[in-house]
Amino acid sequence: MNKSLVELNNCGVFRNQKWLVRGVSLKVSQGEIVTLIGPNGSGKSTTAKMSLDILKPDEGTNTIKKDIRISYVPQKISIDWSLPLRSIDFVNLVTKHKTSEINDALGITGIQHLINEDVRNLSGGEFQRLLMARAIAKEPHFLVLDEPVQGVDYSGEIALYKTIQEIVKKINCGILLISHNLHVVMSQTDYVICLNGHVCCSGIPSSVIKDQEYIKLFGSNIDPTLSLYKHNHDHHHLPDGSIDKADKNK
Amino acid sequence: MFDDFIIRAFAAGIGLALITGPLGCFIIWRRLSYFGDTIAHSALLGVVIAYAMNFNLIIAVFAVSCFIALSLLFLQKRTNLPDDALLGLLAHSVLAIGLVLLGILSFIRIDLMGLLFGDILSVNITDVLFVWIGGSIVLIVLILIWRPLFAATVNLELAKAEGLNADLANAIFTILIASVIAISIKIVGILLITGLLIIPAAASRNLSSTPIQMAIISSVIGLVSVVLGLQTSMIWNSPTGPTILAIALGVFILTLIPLKKLLISKKKIELSN
């Protein structure tokens, strides 16, 4: 029944004399949302790239089921200014779709009116929605979302996460999600992997938040059902409006 | 009445312009204009080898160009140097080797001006056939690899992640550029070929809103430049290759000036409707 689409087995990537990430094992199956969380530089994107086989692991094995459709929403993408590219061309980038399919996908992410707009005229949030629309239009079996809602406004963010859940139900795909929104992660995903150069802890959300390793990284005072994302500032704002780095005071 | 050599010149020039259009677009999109120069510089080595071994010029240049292009791919993977440094390294070292060989093999006499700037009026029927047959092959291959190549141009990781063979498309594209440069040596010469690749495509960028549009308009602009350039050079008795490029530059300037005004007035009309 629950066939796994992608499996990483004790994978690691070694670059420039250090391990970017090591000892990662994960499995994404049909109809399942697996989330990676962790601080900056903890190897989330690297792990996602191994699951897509863009990066070959230097140790361990990555297995991707054959002949599955894969969609990828990368964390950073910039379109060269010399490229004349409309939203519709971008959706058609890897696979050609019918106009009705493109309209549907753009409609789901709320940017149907921008179908013929030049991609460079889109705002950051609109472009993020376009990336999502392109990924959805393919009706993938396996979908990798690397911080898919960055730059999207607050209400749009919630709507997009809802969309993600709906997609899983509708096309029954497996999703590997990288997100900073712990509220969303804890309430809407099936399995959480907490990374910090290695797998700190993993499991279903309700067990992960009780894990000591998780508490060390994210603090214990997060009630995932209602709290906002808490974070520590590394700087102070001085009365005159300038910024004082907290590190300097140490 | 046109003489035979004029007809051959038109046939070769038009054929070349049709291929350089879409290829030039990719060169601009991928920021490879210096790459075209590198391949063109290294063509001198191919020419020397062709003369020394009494071998077909176009094939020799093509072989050397491919070798240089593949060396670049190899160096990109093996070193941490930026692309422009690698290209500079290859361009000038291979040019130097070509010149050294040319000096040693003193029996070779090369029309250096013809090599640098081409002489479209001296092309023979074999050259024309090379342009049209070679050009057709290049165009067909480009159409076949269009999707993976274009996707990789927009975002390499995305193309790879979603199962397109981006590395293969990139390698093939490199070979296509090498072939076009080999084909064009006699027509526009080493120094000017990059211009024929880039100027029409750059002019086309100002007029187009989709990639395919840009590729087609680029071909049309190249074609217009070749036809007008040949005629102008006959009237003024000016060197043909440079005249073609000067006309292309003229078209580029034309695309800059009136278009924005036109667009604004068009929008005004749309708004008033």
Q: What is the DSSP letter of A187?
A: H
> A195 near A36, Cβ under 8 Å?
yes
pLDDT in tens, A2-22: 578 888 888 888 887 888 888
Q: Give the A window 206-235 contacts with B, CB below 8 Å.
A: none
Within a 10 A sphere around the Cβ of A38, how many other Cβ atoms? 22
Packing angle, helices B166-188 and B33-52, rounded to 10: 60
Contact B29 A89 (CB under 8 A): no
B29, B160, B161 member nearest A82 (Cβ): B29
Note the pLDDT of residue A138: 87
Q: Which domains does chain A have, with CATH numbers?
A: 4-69+140-249 (3.40.50.300), 79-138 (no CATH)
Write the ipTM. Answer: 0.79
Tell me: pLDDT of A108 over 80.
yes
- How far apart CA A51 and CA B148 sit, in angstroms, is 21
Q: Which residue of chain A comes nearest to B154, CA vs CA?
A: A79
- How far apart CA B191 and CA B38 sit, in angstroms, is 10
Query: What global pTM score does this model have?
Result: 0.82
Note the pLDDT of residue A242: 57
What is the number of residues in chain A?
250
- How far apart CA B270 and CA B273 sit, in angstroms, is 5
User: Parallel, antiparallel, or unpaired: how do β-strands A142-146 and A174-178 relate?
Assistant: parallel
Helix and strand totals (H; E) in chain A: 9, 11
Query: What 3-state DSSP class applies to A173?
Result: coil
Note the pLDDT of residue B21: 93
pLDDT in tens, B117-169: 888 888 888 888 889 999 999 999 999 999 999 999 998 889 998 988 988 99
SS3 string, chain B, reads CCCHHHHHHHHHHHHHHHHHHHHHHHHHHCCCHHHHHHHHHHHHHHHHHHHHCCCCHHHHHHHHHHHHHHHHHHHHHHCCCCHHHHHHHHHHHHHHHHHHHHHHCCCCCCCHHHHHHCCHHHCCHHHHHHHHHHHHHHHHHHHHCHHHHHHHHHCHHHHHHCCCCHHHHHHHHHHHHHHHHHHHHHHHCCCCHHHHHHHHHHHHHCCCCCHHHHHHHHHHHHHHHHHHHHHHHHHHCCCHHHHHHHHHHHHHHHHHHHHHHHHHHHHHHHHHC
- How far apart CA B237 and CA B229 sit, in angstroms, is 11
What one-letter code names the amino acid at A199? V
pLDDT in tens, A31-77: 888 999 888 888 888 898 999 988 888 888 888 888 889 999 988 78
Contacts of B159 in chain A (CB under 8 A): 93-94
Cα angle B175-B164-A74, degrees, rounded to a multiple of 5: 115
Query: What 3-state DSSP class applies to A166?
Result: helix
Among residues B133, B128, B162, which one has the least CA distance to residue B147? B162
pLDDT in tens, A126-153: 888 899 899 989 889 999 998 888 878 8
Strand partners, A145: A73, A177
What's the whole-number mean pLDDT along residues B44-59? 86
Tell which phi-psi region holds residue B138, choosing left (phi > 0), alpha (psi between -120 and 50) or beta. Answer: alpha
> B72 near B90, Cβ under 8 Å?
yes
Q: Which residue has the tokens 């749009």?
A: A156
Cα angle A215-A217-A218, degrees, rounded to a multiple of 5: 65
> A249 near A238, Cβ under 8 Å?
no
Note the pLDDT of residue A221: 56
Contact B154 A49 (CB under 8 A): no
What's the whole-number mean pLDDT along residues A167-185? 82
Q: Which domains does chain B have, with CATH numbers?
A: 4-272 (1.10.3470.10)
Tell me: pLDDT of A192 over 50.
yes
Q: Which residue of chain B comes nearest to A118, CA vs CA?
A: B209
Contact B209 A84 (CB under 8 A): yes
By CB atoms closer than 10 A (0-12, 13-18, 19+), residue B226 is: buried
